[in-house]
Amino acid sequence: MVPALMRKTWRDDRRAILGWAAGVAAFTAVYSAFYPQFQGAAELKQDALPKGVLDFLGVADFLSPAGYLQASIFGLLGPLLVLMCTVTVVARTIAVPEEGGGMELLLANPVSRTAFAGQRLAAAGLAVTAVAAIPWLLLMVIVPAVDMDIPLSSVAAAGFGLVALAWCFGGLAFLVGAATGRRASVLAVTGIVAVATYMANAVSGMAQGWSWLRWWSPFHYFLGTDPLRTGWHPGSLLVLVLAGAVAVVAGVILFDRRDVGV
């Protein structure tokens, strides 16, 4: 039996969740299903852009199927969409109702603070996981359908990587919301960290002497192992999951200790 608070969370967030799910599904389907038609254009892009720019965009090449999927879906736009969904949905666990005032009535019920935070996050986390898993699930069907030559286990590895990336940033967003209770802080901190670590990962591959930077970037653990070509790297994915889990635990502890709705 799902707790009432989780069902309520889904009911209140369903428009946002369904909207993001539709957007991510359309994006994935359009980009991947048109792979055959993009082939000609891809060659032009490949020639037009200097190697350095391609590296910065996280694109090894546009020509191979793996290169194409990475460039179109996993390199930038996919994570961008999924992380925007993650941050906005996770912000609604604590920060949004706390600022809006609706949290008093929720918290005035016989649940401990910890259980409240846990159930709100579990509901948001399941929704975010479902949205983040959409590229994975769709590509398992579309990749064979359009004759892309990528092993399905590699597609799954990259697809799960996107889910793990969402957990990592979702954990951070939850931590900021649980600690501050402010939506703007959640969006600002998570957004800045996402952009900064994305750039750190890109720069580390290009500039001599900066390669250590990538160890600080979740994007390195997601794509740095080149999952579309090399398959599963459980160690890297575990880093993402653990980072998210640590942030969640810290968030629950801080939320349990502070004043609410000041």
Partner 1 sequence: MSPMTPDTAVLTEGLTKFYGSRRGIEELDLAVHAGEVMGFLGPNGAGKTTTIRLLLDFLRPTRGHAVVLGLDPRRDKAALHSRIGYLPGELTFPGRERARDLLRFLADLRGGVPWSRIGDLADRLQVDLAHPVRTMSKGNKQKVGLIQAFMHEPALLVLDEPTSGLDPLMQQEFLGMVRDARTAGQTVFMSSHVLAEVQEVADRVAIVRDGRLAAVERVESLGRRAVRSVEIHFADPVAADEFAGLPGVSGVSVTGPVLRCTVDGRLDPLVKAAARHEVVDLLSSEPDLEETFLSFYYHSEGDRDGARADA
Q: How far is it, in rounded angstroms, from Cα 234 to Cα 153?
A: 13
97 binds partner 1 (CB under 8 A): yes
Please pick, from the candidates 5, 130, 199, 253, the single residue that binds partner 1 as defined by CB under 8 A. 5
Q: Kindly state the smallest distance separating residue 109's Cβ from partner 1, in Å.
A: 4
Q: How far is it, in rounded angstroms, from Cα 28 to Cα 34?
A: 10
111 binds partner 1 (CB under 8 A): yes
109 or 208: CB nearest partner 1: 109
21 binds partner 1 (CB under 8 A): no
258 binds partner 1 (CB under 8 A): yes
Please pick, from the candidates 40, 50, 52, 101, the single residue that binds partner 1 as defined by CB under 8 A. 101
Token code pair at residue 163 = 């889910």
Q: By CB neighbour count within 10 A (0-12 exposed, 13-18 middle, 19+ buried), where does 88 fall? A: buried
Selected range binding partner 1 among 50-58, 68-76, 241-249, 251-259, rule: CB under 8 A? 251-259
Query: What is the contact mask toward partner 1 in residues 47 to 76, using x (rule: CB under 8 A)?
Result: ------------------------------
Please pick, from the candidates 18, 30, 115, 145, the single residue that binds partner 1 as defined by CB under 8 A. 115
78 binds partner 1 (CB under 8 A): no
120 or 220: CB nearest partner 1: 120
Please pick, from the candidates 80, 106, 140, 193, the single residue that binds partner 1 as defined by CB under 8 A. 106
88 or 204: CB nearest partner 1: 88
Please pick, from the candidates 109, 208, 209, 212, the single residue that binds partner 1 as defined by CB under 8 A. 109
The DSSP annotation for the chain comes to: ---HHHHHHHHHHHHHHHHHHHHHHHHHHHHHHTHHHHHHHHHHHHHHS-HHHHHHTT-S-SSSHHHHHIIIIITTHHHHHHHHHHHHHHHTTTHHHHHHTTHHHHHTSS--HHHHHHHHHHHHHHHHHHHHTHHHHHHHHHHHHTT----HHHHHHHHHHHHHHHHHHHHHHHHHHHHH--HHHHHHHHHHHHHHHHHHHHHHHHSTT-GGGGGG-HHHHHHTT-HHHH---HHHHHHHHHHHHHHHHHHHHHHHHS-S--
67 or 177: CB nearest partner 1: 177
8 binds partner 1 (CB under 8 A): yes
Please pick, from the candidates 19, 36, 100, 144, the single residue that binds partner 1 as defined by CB under 8 A. 100
Binding residues for partner 1, rule: CB under 8 A, are: 4-5, 7-8, 11-12, 97, 100-113, 115, 257-262
